[in-house]
Amino acid sequence: MKSRFDWRGTYFNLVSFVAIVVLLVAVIIAGNNILQIAMPQMSLSQHEWRQVESFEAFKRFHPREPTRIRPKSPPETVDTLSSATEEDTEAELRAEWQEQRTLLVEGQKRRGLWSLLQAIVTIIVVFPVFWWHRRKAKELKVNGLVDEGQGG
C-alpha cells in the first residue's frame, strides 16, 4: 500500500522554511549590528552611558576616594600647591573620563563587529542549505514525483 503523504517533499520544504527563517533572523541581527557599529552610544545601556555621557556626569559617578596615594607635601608649601593640585586632579579626572568614554564606545563597536561577523557566517552557511533544499523540493514537483492531487 502506497503512502499518500510525500515525506521527501515535506522534508525539503520544511528545511527550506527553517533555513529562510534563520536567514531572516541573521539579516535582522546583521542590520542591528551595523547600527551598533555606526552609533555605539545608542546601543549602550542607559546606566553605562549616563556614567560617561558628560564630564559632569562622570564626576558625579566617579568614586571620591583617590585612586593613587600621593606623597604628602611639606607643610610650608601646602598653600602654594593647593590650587595647582586641584587643577592637576581636574586634568587627571578629565583624562580618565575621556579614556573611559573611549574604551566604552570602542568596546561597543568591537562587540557589534563580532556579532556582525557571526551573522555573516550564519548567512554564508545557511544560504546554501536553503538553496539546495529549495531546489530539491522544486525538482520533486517538476519531475512529477509529487502528484499535485496528493497535497504537494
pLDDT per position as a tens digit, 5-49: 778 889 999 999 999 999 999 999 999 999 999 988 888 877 777
**Measured between alpha carbons, how far is 116 from 26 in angstroms, rounded to an integer?**
9
**Measured between alpha carbons, how far is 43 from 32 in angstroms, rounded to an integer?**
9
pLDDT computed for residue 69 by the predictor: 45
pLDDT per position as a tens digit, 100-144: 888 888 988 999 999 999 999 999 999 999 999 999 988 887 766
Residue 62 burial (CB < 10 Å; 0-12/13-18/19+)?
Answer: middle
Instruction: Read off the pTM.
Output: 0.65
Hunting for cell 580618565 — which residue is that?
96
In 3-state terms, what secondary structure has residue 76?
helix
Domain boundaries, the chain: 7-63+79-148
